[in-house]
Structure formats: structure tokens, C-alpha cells
């Protein structure tokens, strides 16, 4: 099976977690695009979607799925999103698509995070994938100095401006053995909008695409 086929498999499998009559939280990325396409087949059975990016909003609307303002929604039963890495406890690195801040906001409104990913995303320890950190542009140099002091090699993602007007710093070389502590630490620094560690908002369930089918991990 190709990676695209694995993504389609978990995108389809995620439909089982969508609660009929309720609003669904929708992430961002190529795996989520498969989920959005699958969601279109049951669009009459949901109350709408809260989206985590302009890109996902565009795709949802193209399918005729109503996109709701996050400020008008008090609670969402499930948020469905991909990940760049996920560990055995459901902690994730996200932000490869630069949507990490809105992703964390929608995840915060949701009761459960359902992660959809192909099996290449499962790791023992987070950090092989460069950690994205969204920053206010004027803080980029100072935040990079702090990241270097933590042992990372930061690099500004060239030409990328997020949906929030932020810049992304990608950090290589970190071995994230305590995701919750590192998330807390980096989030405190002035000018950091969001760090792409999802420990506090970790996955409740991961639907992992494998050549043998969908493997369900519950955390």
C-alpha cells in the first residue's frame, strides 16, 4: 500500500468517530484532506465543522460542509487531525503544515483528539521531525537563541507566514523525552505563539494506517 492509500484508509476510518448531529473539529494536512473528502459523504448528518486553517476551510466549503466560527461553539465531541510524529503515549509533534496554533485551539475546544496517521509517524521518542514553533516575527531571533540553548538547531521556515501572521521556526536535533515539560517551557517565552508539541492536548485515540489495515491505539 502506498502512503497515500494509508492516509485514505485512516481518513475513512475516522468517520466512525464523528458524532451524528454534532459539530466536528477538523485539522489540517494531507491526511485530513482524505478525512474531509470522506466527511462529505455524511455531511447531512453533522451540524457543521470548526476548521483549523484557511486551507481546510476552503476544502470543507468546496464540499458544501458548513464551517462554523470557533467563537460560537462551546464544545465539540471530537477533533480529527493528523500528526508529524506521535509517541506511544499519544504525545505529538504537529505544525508541519504551519497550522499548529489553530489546531491547538480547536483541540482545546474538543473533548477528544482522534489522530489519523500512517504508520511512519509512530516513534519511540519525539524529535526526529523538526519541531515547529510559531512566533511573532520580531521575536524570531531571540526565540532561536533560546532554542539553541536547549540544544536544538533552529531554522526559520523560509517564505512562510501563518494564517495568524506568525513565522515558523523549525528545530532539529531535539530529543523530547518529557514532552509536557518542554511544551510548558517553550510556551512561556515572550513572542512564542505556540510550540508544536501536543502533550497537554495529546491524542485520545490514534488510527494508524498499516498495510494490514487500521491499527487503533487508545491512550
Name which position in 13, 65, 80, 82 contacts ligand 5RP (CB under 6 A): 82
One of 31, 51, 162, 194 touching ligand 5RP (CB under 6 A)? 31
Q: Does 30 bind ligand 5RP (CB under 6 A)?
A: yes
Residue 89 bridge partners (DSSP)? none
Q: What CA–CA distance (Å, rounded) separates 146 from 86?
A: 25
Q: How far is the CB of 21 from ligand 5RP (least distance, A)?
A: 26
- Give me the least distance between CB of 160 and ligand 5RP, in Å please: 11
Question: Which of 23, 65, 100, 207 is close enough to bind ligand 5RP by CB under 6 A?
Answer: 100
Number of residues that bind ligand 5RP (CB under 6 A): 17
Say how far apart CA 129 and CA 181 lie, in whole Å.
Answer: 18
Q: How many CA atoms lie within 13 A of 56 on its CB side?
A: 32
Shortest Cβ 97–ligand 5RP spacing (Å): 3
136: CB partners within 8 A, 6+ apart: 166, 167, 191, 193
Tell which one of 11, 25, 95, 191 touches ligand 5RP (CB under 6 A). Answer: 95
* Contact status: 125 vs ligand 5RP (CB under 6 A): no
List the beta bridge partners of residue 116: 207
Phi, psi of 180, rounded to the nearest 5 degrees: -65, -40
Amino acid at each position: 500500500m502506498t502512503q497515500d492509500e494509508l492516509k485514505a484508509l485512516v481518513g475513512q476510518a475516522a468517520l466512525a468517530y464523528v458524532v451524528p448531529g454534532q459539530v466536528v473539529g477538523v485539522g489540517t494536512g494531507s491526511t485530513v484532506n482524505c478525512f474531509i473528502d470522506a466527511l462529505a459523504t455524511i455531511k447531512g448528518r453533522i451540524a457543521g465543522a470548526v476548521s483549523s486553517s484557511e486551507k481546510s476551510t476552503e476544502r470543507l466549503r468546496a464540499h458544501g460542509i458548513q464551517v462554523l466560527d470557533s467563537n460560537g461553539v462551546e464544545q465539540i465531541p471530537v477533533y480529527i487531525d493528523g500528526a508529524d510524529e506521535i509517541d506511544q503515549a499519544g504525545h505529538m509533534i504537529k505544525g508541519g503544515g504551519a497550522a499548529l496554533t489553530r489546531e491547538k485551539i480547536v483541540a482545546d475546544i474538543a473533548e477528544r483528539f482522534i489522530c489519523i496517521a500512517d504508520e511512519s509517524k509512530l516513534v519511540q521518542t519525539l524529535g526526529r521531525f523538526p519541531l515547529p514553533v510559531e512566533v511573532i516575527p520580531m521575536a524570531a531571533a531571540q526565540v532561536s537563541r533560546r532554542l539553541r540553548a536547549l540544544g536544538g538547531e533552529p531554522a526559520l521556515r523560509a517564505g512562510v507566514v501563518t494564517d495568524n501572521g506568525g513565522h515558523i521556526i523549525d528545530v532539529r536535533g531535539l530529543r523530547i523525552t518529557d514532552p509536557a515539560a518542554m511544551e510548558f517551557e517553550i510556551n512561556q517565552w515572550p513572542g512564542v505563539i505556540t510550540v508544536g508539541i501536543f502533550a497537554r492536548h495529546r491524542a485520545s485515540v490514534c488510527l494508524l494506517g498499516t498495510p494490514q489495515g487500521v491499527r487503533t491505539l487508545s491512550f
